[in-house]
Structure 1
Amino acid sequence: MLKRVGFIFFALFSCYMGMIESQKWKHLTNELEVNVAASKVWELYRYLGISKLAAQELKNMIQSVDVLKGDGGVGTIIKFTFVPGNSSYTEKFSVIDDLKRVKVTKGLEGGCLAMGCSVEIVGFDIIERTHNSCIIKSDIAYAVKKEFKANNPKPDIQLLADFAQVAKRVLETQHGHGV
């Protein structure tokens, strides 16, 4: 049920933003269980924390993370520059729901958009399982422009899976659950 709540929230938001028309949406999803309270994981994902942490921990993939506008709230625009520095991805924080622990960003340029996608939406759901465990669910929804369908462009969910792994390792270590 909780998984559906996140998707429904995403779909409603997309309709509100006028992004769902006749496009066929595709999804890539990653889920990772973390042995830390959902509230602690949300603190990291809610603002700029996960982006900054990933930039520190994934230097082999991320050259830099630059905040172009905002302070981590809705409307914030950030740019990821990837190693070796010739590709980038810019996104805007569209939804931050503290009650549901949901964050949604919309791709502005780069990433899948540079390969023929017409839209790329990234959603993060922090789903409480128990008092001291939760699931980090990362979802990329995207649509491909007609003229690029034969090329089958798609975003890379692995980077978001790596973000979640970094969050898990750091938070579990901080909260005494580290291996």
Structure 2
Amino acid sequence: MLKQFSLVFFVLLACYNRVNSRELKHITREPEVNAPASEAWELYRKLGLLDLIDRKLTNIFQSTEVLKGDGGVGTVVKLTFVPGNSSYTEKITVMDDQKRVKVTKGLEGDCLAIGCSVQIIQFGIIEKYQNSSIIKSIVSYAVKKEFQAKDPKPNIQAVEAILQASKKYLE
């Protein structure tokens, strides 16, 4: 069900952004966590991750800032990387408590600054067993034609660090 939702969502979002869905590239990670899906979702929904980033990932992120919103759809967040000379700004576009899916669209920074036309990050919490779940992350992006030879990619290390910090926190 989540795979079907993801595919339909990305095709619709790509059409909205005038990006051919075949142009979208995806990087997926699915770490298993020894915690109930409800607890994992509580961390990922709204602004829970920002607090975790501020406390546990100071070696990667210098600061986090909510520019607009309260953590729901429409919220705009700016993440500044260490040593503070680059940042990434994103907007929450989907927050589905029923499906436990959160989607953000990049507004500026990261691969958008080096040749990508769109960057989308989706987190989904999948219940595996009563006290076990999977945190699925999908980073989708499209490269502008004039930058294809350089093959720019999103900073997946930041997403992986967030996943690892989440796993440690939840367990």
TM superposition score normalised by structure 1: 0.90
> Hey, what's the Cα distance between the residues in 2 that align with 1:100 and 1:54?
24
Tell me the alpha carbon deviations over residues 42-93 of structure 1, each in whole angstroms, 9 at most, x when there is no partner.
Answer: 0000011112201210111100000000010000000000000000000000
Q: How many residues of Structure 1 are paired with residues of Structure 2 in the alignment?
A: 171
In 2, are the aligned partners of 1:23 and 1:143 still within 8 Å (CA)? no
**Deviation larger for 87-96 or 156-165:** 156-165
> Hey, what's the Cα distance between the residues in 1 that align with 2:5 and 2:52?
24
Aligned to 1:31: 30
> Hey, what's the Cα distance between the residues in 2 that align with 1:68 and 1:159?
20
TM superposition score normalised by structure 2: 0.94
Aligned to 2:146: 147
Where does structure 2 lack aligned partners over 5 or more consecutive residues? Answer: none
Where does structure 1 lack aligned partners over 5 or more consecutive residues? Answer: 173-179
Once the two structures are aligned, what percentage of the paired residues are identical?
57
> Hey, what's the Cα distance between the residues in 1 that align with 2:13 and 2:58?
33
Query: Quick one: which amino acid aligns to residue 142 of structure 1?
Result: Y
In 2, are the aligned partners of 1:76 and 1:93 still within 8 Å (CA)? yes
Partner of 1:108, secondary structure, is strand
In 1, are the aligned partners of 2:35 and 2:170 still within 8 Å (CA)? yes
Aligned to 1:51: 50
* RMSD (Å), alpha carbons: 1.6
Partner of 2:149, secondary structure, is helix
Aligned to 1:64: 63
> Hey, what's the Cα distance between the residues in 2 that align with 1:121 and 1:58?
21
Aligned to 2:161: 162
> Hey, what's the Cα distance between the residues in 2 that align with 1:22 and 1:161?
24
